[in-house]
Amino acid sequence: MKTIVILALALFLAGSVVTLGAQQGAGPVAIDSDDIGGVVTGPKGPEAGVWVIAETTELPTKFAKMVVTDGQGRYVIPDLPTATYGVWVRGYGLVDSPKVRAKPGQHVNLTAVPAPDARSAAHYYPAIYWYSMLKMPPAKDFGGTSDIPKNVTQDLWRQRMGNIDCIGCHQLGQQSTRTVPAQFGPFKSGAEAWARRIASGQTGETMMNRLAVQLGGVPFKYFGDWIDRIASGELPKQKPPRPQGVERNIVVTSWEWGTDKQYLHDLVSSDRRQPTVNPYGPLYGSPEYSTDEMPILDPKTHKVTFFKMTVADPEAPESFGPPFHASAVAKPMLPSAYWGEEKIWSQKANNHNGMIDKKGRVWFASAVRGIENPAFCKKGSDHPSAKVFPVERSGRQVSMLDPTTMKYSHIDTCFGTHHLQFGYDADDTLWLSGTGQVAGWVNTKVWDETGDAAKAQGWAPWVLDTSGNGKVDEWTEPDKPAEAGKDMRIAGSGPYAVMPHTDGSVWYTFNVFVGRNGFVRFDPKTRLSEFYAIPKQGIAVRGGDIDKNGVVWGSGSNGSLVSFDRRKCKGPLSGPQATGDHCPEGFAYHRYPGPSFDGFENGSAEGSYYTWVDQHNTSGLGDNVPISTANLSDGFVAFKDGKMILMRIPYPMGFYAKGLDGRIDDANAGWKGRGLWSTSGDRTPWLMEGGKGSKPRAVHIQFRPDPLAK
């Protein structure tokens, strides 16, 4: 490609566009024929650390690319498909500049527009700066002294206001949640308005149960006070810093996919163990409760297609409602401000999460039938696992799509499923979470050889070796007193994140929703488990992953990245004392960026949903880098060399992800051959910037050597 150099001009205009030929032989910023580059200036000179965004609707789906200016206000948006783009500046302390039309190969100098007042500037702050204004009840209000139910502790409240309740499905603090939709009509107070808004739509019943019943309705008072103060003009106390250092090297590419009424929970791009699988290939979305039409994005052609996921039993009911799917129901509780009484979600497959194997096949945690298990799962069966611990019901099972033939297979499991990861054994065992009272797995080698789901699967209860003899013995049941010489079975909501390690063990985050929270290590050889409870300082953990060294990382409810290193444990890992509190020395806490709630200054107000470890340098930040979803900061945060690196998706505001993946398309192509992949996962895409009509966005995140690298 023909390289040119362009002159950095400080123009106090909306923007200036100069063609490729007119700039040959000029100044210091070089671009190629498929780049747009230039300089961003403001009234005081070059604007460093602001975003330049280019978007087009001329491709098969809406497409945007975003970069950050360097210390001299210079930028290069590299490798743009042929189209006409709207290009503009966004940054802290600014309001959006007017969009300038441009094509690749053009130099576009842009003029930043300073915010006329503090409120205009705060409009562009990440949601966390607004959400941290929410007040927390004082310690004296817990323990039965107020309207807060007696069984609700301050730590539980902090967990529920952090990464468990509302923030488990939505970003809170963006424009649409810190205000009340006019369609709901007038209310006497913010508390009344908040109670009405959460009763809306197909998750209204669940949200009402969580806040009005389990927390006694007290959150309405605090959420109402929050939006009332904002409506009266109160602004965030802190201002976000502009991107610094390596944060300026980021390149974000985004595509619309899915539909405006359905959301996506996750996407998958490659094999976690071998991220060179499926190079430059399609991305597969998981629409969970919203639809059975799975979107597939081809990032090379920018085309989105859909695959209809099926169930084995055509008469199977929709995957809504208790006992396994209480977080979504078939009928809206009250009309939505956006969709009225329309039932916008309809599905049976309930595709929650996908993983790609070494052959490029895509495996899903998805329903293949109703909730009643087949006979081989139940008491009286001769299945080896059923003899030990029969299972009567499961709410979601396993399926597999072979992209070469588009054949879709159903694998009926006795245990439920949620997240999934492949192990490092010769059988390519698929380990799953969401399995409830058991650890569950599918031997994919046996499945490939026989097509027999019963033969291919196994499960085992969570049993601690409190007898200390290294094998599963008779156990005491959960919540029963320990007995000498017996093991102990533990229970609760069970495993949430699943993390196979190269040593053969499988780790989980455990009891995220019910029961004592912590990390569990399962040994497939002995079928024994180890449980490490999160200390009080950490409160709880949600999504997590494991690094090459066996250190597990998780998204903490205390506003920190929680790590646990089993190698640091000083005491016995089995025996009567090894029931959860036997290795506090293994835990460490790494504070997420952003402001805190008043009174909780040790942790950020960030409500991170999931943490993933980049074991193979797919991001360009290095091997073994834990990366958390920054759900209130429009992106992700990586922990590298003791420092947090924030990756904000600046457009559209309100980006909220539930996971991420990494892929190396070409190991010899430098930064261009690798990157992170994710999708916006908020259940309500119409709440992000753009409003009703907005669709989920798939994003590709790359780090180049410097802000001007092409």
CA–CA separation, 607 vs 601, rounded Å?
14
Kindly state the percentage of the chain with pLDDT values over 90: 95
The answer to whether residue 452 sits within a structural domain is yes
The reported pLDDT for the residue numbered 16 is 59
* Banded pLDDT at 362 (limits 50, 70, 90): very high
The answer to whether residue 189 sits within a structural domain is yes
pLDDT above 60 (res 607): yes
The reported pLDDT for the residue numbered 8 is 33
The predicted-structure confidence for 19-66, as pLDDT tens digits, reads as follows: 433 333 335 799 999 999 999 999 999 999 999 999 999 999 999 999
Residues 213 and 288 in one domain: no
Residues 377 and 430 in one domain: yes
The predicted-structure confidence for 457-513, as pLDDT tens digits, reads as follows: 999 999 999 999 999 999 999 989 999 999 999 999 999 999 999 999 999 999 999
The answer to whether residue 710 sits within a structural domain is no
Q: Are 418 and 396 in contact (CB under 8 A)?
A: yes
Q: Is 432 exposed, middle or buried (0-12, 13-18, 19+ CB in 10 A)?
A: buried
The reported pLDDT for the residue numbered 11 is 33
The last residue of one of the domains, among 121, 136, 153, is 121
The answer to whether residue 680 sits within a structural domain is yes
Which tokens belong to 351?
Answer: 């595709």
The predicted-structure confidence for 523-544, as pLDDT tens digits, reads as follows: 999 999 999 999 999 999 999 9
pLDDT above 90 (res 7): no
Residues 352 and 492 in one domain: yes
Secondary structure of the chain: what % helix, strand, coil (to 5)? Answer: 15, 30, 55
> What average pLDDT does this structure show over 215-227?
97
The answer to whether residue 239 sits within a structural domain is no
The reported pLDDT for the residue numbered 1 is 38
Residues 294 and 374 in one domain: yes
The predicted-structure confidence for 260-316, as pLDDT tens digits, reads as follows: 999 999 999 999 999 999 999 999 999 999 999 999 999 999 999 999 999 998 889
HEC letters along 448-461: HHHCCHHHHEEEEE
Residues 61 and 161 in one domain: no
Residues 509 and 640 in one domain: yes
CA–CA separation, 400 vs 395, rounded Å?
17
The predicted-structure confidence for 185-213, as pLDDT tens digits, reads as follows: 999 999 999 999 999 999 999 999 999 99
Number of domains in the chain: 3
CA–CA separation, 564 vs 548, rounded Å?
13
The last residue of one of the domains, among 74, 103, 121, is 121
Residues 369 and 489 in one domain: yes
The reported pLDDT for the residue numbered 27 is 53
pLDDT above 70 (res 3): no
Domain limits for position 651? 245-340+347-703
CATH number at residue 259: 2.130.10.10
The reported pLDDT for the residue numbered 439 is 98
Q: Are 644 and 632 in contact (CB under 8 A)?
A: no
Residues 632 and 689 in one domain: yes
The amino acid at residue 501 is: H
Distance (Å) of CA 686 to CA 185, 260, 552, 697, 707: 19, 7, 35, 12, 32
CATH number at residue 67: 2.60.40.1120
The last residue of one of the domains, among 203, 231, 259, is 231
- Spatial CA neighbour of 23 closest among 100, 98, 102: 102
The answer to whether residue 236 sits within a structural domain is no
The reported pLDDT for the residue numbered 285 is 98
Q: What angle do the packed helices 218-231 and 190-198 form, to 10 degrees?
A: 120
Residues 393 and 441 in one domain: yes
The answer to whether residue 37 sits within a structural domain is yes
The predicted-structure confidence for 85-129, as pLDDT tens digits, reads as follows: 999 999 999 999 999 999 999 999 999 999 999 999 999 999 999
The reported pLDDT for the residue numbered 479 is 85
CA–CA separation, 507 vs 561, rounded Å?
17
Residues 689 and 581 in one domain: yes
pLDDT above 70 (res 12): no
Residues 135 and 223 in one domain: yes
Which helix (H) or strand (E) is 130 found in, with range? helix 127-131
Kindly give, in sequence order, each residue whose CB lies less than 8 Å from that of residue 286, ignoring residues fewer than 6 positions away: 264, 265, 266, 267, 268, 294, 351, 352, 353, 354, 364
The reported pLDDT for the residue numbered 15 is 59
| Average pLDDT of the chain, as a whole number | 95
Residues 572 and 528 in one domain: yes
The reported pLDDT for the residue numbered 26 is 37
CA–CA separation, 169 vs 227, rounded Å?
19
The answer to whether residue 467 sits within a structural domain is yes
pLDDT above 80 (res 322): yes
Quickly count: other Cβ atoms within 10 Å of residue 314's Cβ: 7
The predicted-structure confidence for 373-418, as pLDDT tens digits, reads as follows: 999 999 999 999 999 999 999 999 999 999 999 999 999 999 999 9
Q: Please tell me the pTM assigned to this model.
A: 0.96
DSSP annotation string for 452-514: -HHHHEEEEE-EE-TT-SSS---EEPTTSPP-TT-EEE--SS-EEEEEE-TTS-EEEEE-SSS
Q: Are 310 and 292 in contact (CB under 8 A)?
A: yes
The reported pLDDT for the residue numbered 314 is 87
Q: What are phi and psi of 68, to 5 degrees?
A: -120, 140
- Spatial CA neighbour of 698 closest among 266, 249, 171, 341: 266
Which tokens belong to 389?
Answer: 């611990």
